[in-house]
Amino acid sequence: MTPRVVRAEYIQGYMIRVWFGDGSSADIDFAKELEGEVFDPLRDISYFRQFLVHPELHTLVWPNGADFAPEFLYSKVQVAV
């Protein structure tokens, strides 16, 4: 089963609290994950904060098309537990 992000909330810096459909949640620090051309704009905190939970993809997305696979996000939650 593919994990589904159901809610996300900005915390501070590059940290976002993410909730999944199975009830799990964790604070994920994206500071070290913003590598590559598509993630360059996200290094600006004001732009980073413009994320939303995509209603069909069930993951975090940004206006420039950057996103993280829900499986990747869920693997970070599992490490945090």
- Summarised one tens digit per residue, pLDDT across range 49-58 is 999 999 999 9
> Is the pLDDT at 78 greater than 80, yes or no?
no
Each residue of 6-64: pLDDT tens digit?
Answer: 999 999 999 999 999 999 998 999 999 999 999 999 999 999 999 999 999 999 999 99
Decide if 28 contacts 41 (C-beta within 8 A).
Answer: no
Spell out where 1-81 has E strands.
5-12, 15-20, 25-29, 52-53, 60-61
- Classify burial at 35, counting beta carbons within 10 Å of its beta carbon; exposed 0-12, middle 13-18, buried 19 or more: exposed
The fold of the 5-80 domain, in CATH, is NE0471 N-terminal domain-like (3.30.2020)
- What pLDDT is stored for residue 68 in this prediction? 96
Query: What predicted TM-score, i.e. pTM, was given to this entire model?
Result: 0.91
Give the bridge partners for 12, in sequence order: 15
CA distances from 40 to 4, 19, 47 (A): 25, 25, 10
For residue 81, pLDDT over 60 is answered with: no
